[in-house]
Copies of this chain bind each other. A is one copy, B any other.
Amino acid sequence: MAQDVSVLVGGKAGDGINSAGAVVAQLLNSVGYHTCTYYEYPSLIRGGHNFAIIRGADHPVDVHRNMVDYVIALNMDTISLHSGRFHEKTVTVFNSDVVKAPGQGISVSAALTSENAPAIMGNSALIGAFASSAGIPWDTVSEVFNRHIPKGADINLRVARKGYDQVTAVHPINRIGDRRFSLISGNEAIALGLIHGGLSAYVSYPMTPSSSLLHFLAEHADRFGITVIHPENEIAVILMALGISYAGGRPAIGTSGGGFCLMTEGLSLAGMAEIPLVIVVSQRTGPSTGLPTFTGQSDLHFILHAGQGEFPRFVVAPGTAREAYAWSAVAMDIAGHYQVPAIILADKTLSEGTFSLDPVQLPEVPFRGPVLWDGSNTYHRYADNGSVVSHQAFPGTRGAVVKVNSYAHDETGITTEEAAIVAQMTRKRMRKAAHLAEAMEAYDTVITDGPVHAGTMLVCWGSVQGACTEAAHELGLRAVRPVVLSPFPEIRLKQALEGARRLISVEENATGQLAALLRLHGITVDTMVLQYDGRPLTPEMLVERLKEAGV
């Protein structure tokens, strides 16, 4: 039987649900499970209901499930709001000081008092109790605490022990392997991918759900030798980054939809002036401020068309942390090589979820590298010499006058209004799109899963792939997903979808944006399953929705 367990930890904002969730995930990690963790919290700092669902399995998992096997309840809401997630055998571990429920209550206050520990360590008692109820050996608990809560591990462990000792194993989670994965969030995977791809500077203005990317890179700036800047607003963000790129740096920027709006003028400048730039956009529920801490997939067409005028762009929507890592590195490379903006389109579920990454089998990323001036001939920034791109030189290079320009310009970068030159330079820019599309044939731009001959196929993009893949497995369907959205992998997608009698798109928006994109490429979706309340689809929810749709 497949090993697959889910643990819910819930409490008030400010109760430390995030770190409790992280420790639980590490406990599962320590006994050999692949994990993923979903965090849900309202847009406020204290109070309100926060929860995490940690799932562990003997196979890679990218999505949490509705039903949970263990509940760690810091407050009563955790029981009452989530009762629908409990099954007969769900083990409940709770703080008996504030929660009345059947199951394993322990007095957190008593545990704290006896160890003379501060209130903030209360979670440790419950984690200890959970570990015990799940039959996780004390050694493992102790190792995880020492490793991941280095500050105050001792006293935390003493508190945890109080909880551990009050509870007996109800429903053991067995050790299933000896490998431990690295647990990282989607945003961390993006950050590491960017670094792998050569990142030299990250510029960003905080905006959920992209902020943790800024925080992570700021924290590790010295470690990775990068410059991290948080300027006055998103307009400054993109323009600074373009300055950095022009001067030879390799910048990325990050934001969410509202901040991206303010970057669109700079995006068009990047397109016209052919300045490499990577932009991470993590989607949340829109429009406008919307639900800032909830997920969504409603910015696809905006991202594909943002900025006045026409210019090629690379858009990739990774669906897993591993893909986020690999494609972020690729995006850095593509931007640098083709001198185009490259957009990594994520969403809250991916950005803020935590996933198991295999640290010894990191994806291999083929690098093209930038096309640099070799110093011969007079340097012309926009030379149209038949090659794919003009050669880049950076200011400070001896003998090169490097002129970039937002106006229509000639090969030297000087403004022109001459019709023939304008048309030629437009073709030169647009040509890059064709080359880029060709180059993409070497990458896994379309992911497929499930039986090739399934009559019904699901098509989706981004993080919703987790639910799609599992629902498809359950229902015997095929799941197909374009990872790269521009240039659109039309041919490969058509091949992947060949033979489908019924095509169902699954998206977290209200209009079916992928379905529209498919239609544009001659692929007709028969049914759309749309989810737009900010909550990500789980496999169970999707199975139900598919059954409603007659699958």
Residues of A within 8 A of B (CB): 42-43, 235, 256-258, 260-262, 264-265, 267-269, 271-273, 283, 285-294, 296, 298-299, 301-302, 304-311, 406-408, 417, 419-420, 422-423, 426-427, 430, 509-511, 513, 516, 519-520, 522, 532-535
On whether the beta carbons of B422 and A534 are closer than 8 Å, the reply is yes
On whether the beta carbons of B268 and A287 are closer than 8 Å, the reply is yes
A-B contact pairs, 23 of them (CB 8 A): A42-B417, A43-B417, A257-B268, A260-B308, A261-B307, A264-B264, A264-B306, A265-B288, A268-B286, A287-B310, A291-B407, A291-B408, A293-B417, A296-B309, A302-B307, A305-B305, A422-B534, A426-B510, A426-B533, A427-B510, A430-B510, A519-B520, A520-B520
Which residue of the partner chain, among B261, B265, B533, contacts A308 with CB atoms under 8 Å?
B261
Given contact pairs A298-B309, A426-B510, enumerate 9 new A-B contacts (beta carbons under 8 Å): A261-B306, A262-B264, A264-B264, A271-B288, A287-B311, A291-B417, A301-B301, A302-B308, A408-B534
Q: Which residue of B lies closest to A233 (CB)?
A: B235
Residues of B within 8 A of A287 (CB): 268-269, 271-272, 307-311
Which residue of the partner chain, among B42, B306, B510, contacts A310 with CB atoms under 8 Å?
B510
- Which 3 pairs show the lowest CB-CB distances between chains A and B? A286-B309, A257-B308, A287-B309
On whether the beta carbons of A408 and B307 are closer than 8 Å, the reply is no
* Alpha-carbon separation in the docked complex, A262 to B265 (Å): 7
On whether the beta carbons of A301 and B305 are closer than 8 Å, the reply is yes
Which residue of the partner chain, among B257, B268, B420, B520, contacts A258 with CB atoms under 8 Å?
B268
> How far does the Cβ of A252 sit from chain B's closest Cβ, in whole Å?
20
On whether the beta carbons of A535 and B419 are closer than 8 Å, the reply is yes
On whether the beta carbons of A265 and B271 are closer than 8 Å, the reply is no
Residues of B within 8 A of A520 (CB): 516, 519-520
On whether the beta carbons of A423 and B310 are closer than 8 Å, the reply is no
Q: Which residue of B lies closest to A522 (CB)?
A: B519
**Count of this chain's copies in the oligomeric assembly:** 2
On whether the beta carbons of A291 and B422 are closer than 8 Å, the reply is yes
Residues of B within 8 A of A407 (CB): 288-292
Q: Which residue of B lies closest to A256 (CB)?
A: B308
* Alpha-carbon separation in the docked complex, A258 to B273 (Å): 14
Residues of B within 8 A of A296 (CB): 309
Q: Which residue of B lies closest to A294 (CB)?
A: B417
> How far does the Cβ of A398 sit from chain B's closest Cβ, in whole Å?
29
On whether the beta carbons of A309 and B299 are closer than 8 Å, the reply is yes
Residues of B within 8 A of A305 (CB): 301-302, 304-306
> How far does the Cβ of A510 sit from chain B's closest Cβ, in whole Å?
5
> How far does the Cβ of A80 sit from chain B's closest Cβ, in whole Å?
15
Residues of B within 8 A of A272 (CB): 286-290
Residues of B within 8 A of A430 (CB): 510-511
* Alpha-carbon separation in the docked complex, A289 to B522 (Å): 34
Most chain B CB inside 10 Å of its own CB: which residue of A235, A288, A306, A430: A288
Which residue of the partner chain, among B261, B288, B422, B522, contacts A273 with CB atoms under 8 Å?
B288
Residues of B within 8 A of A42 (CB): 417
Residues of B within 8 A of A293 (CB): 417
* Alpha-carbon separation in the docked complex, A299 to B417 (Å): 20
On whether the beta carbons of A534 and B299 are closer than 8 Å, the reply is no
* Alpha-carbon separation in the docked complex, A520 to B525 (Å): 12
> How far does the Cβ of A17 sit from chain B's closest Cβ, in whole Å?
16
On whether the beta carbons of B532 and A423 are closer than 8 Å, the reply is yes
Residues of B within 8 A of A420 (CB): 533
Residues of B within 8 A of A511 (CB): 310, 430
* Alpha-carbon separation in the docked complex, A510 to B426 (Å): 8
Q: Which residue of B lies closest to A40 (CB)?
A: B417
On whether the beta carbons of A262 and B262 are closer than 8 Å, the reply is yes
Taking A42-B417, A43-B417 as contacts, is the C-beta distance between A422 and B308 under 8 angstroms?
Answer: no
Q: Which residue of B lies closest to A516 (CB)?
A: B520
On whether the beta carbons of B261 and A310 are closer than 8 Å, the reply is no
Residues of B within 8 A of A260 (CB): 308
Residues of B within 8 A of A419 (CB): 533-535
Residues of B within 8 A of A301 (CB): 301, 304-305
Q: Which residue of B lies closest to A273 (CB)?
A: B288
Q: Which residue of B lies closest to A270 (CB)?
A: B288
Most chain B CB inside 10 Å of its own CB: which residue of A235, A272, A299, A310: A310
Which residue of the partner chain, among B257, B261, B408, B534, contacts A290 with CB atoms under 8 Å?
B408
> How far does the Cβ of A425 sit from chain B's closest Cβ, in whole Å?
10
* Alpha-carbon separation in the docked complex, A116 to B300 (Å): 66
Most chain B CB inside 10 Å of its own CB: which residue of A256, A305, A309, A509: A309
> How far does the Cβ of A44 sit from chain B's closest Cβ, in whole Å?
9
Residues of B within 8 A of A304 (CB): 301, 305
On whether the beta carbons of A302 and B291 are closer than 8 Å, the reply is no
* Alpha-carbon separation in the docked complex, A535 to B261 (Å): 30
* Alpha-carbon separation in the docked complex, A423 to B534 (Å): 9
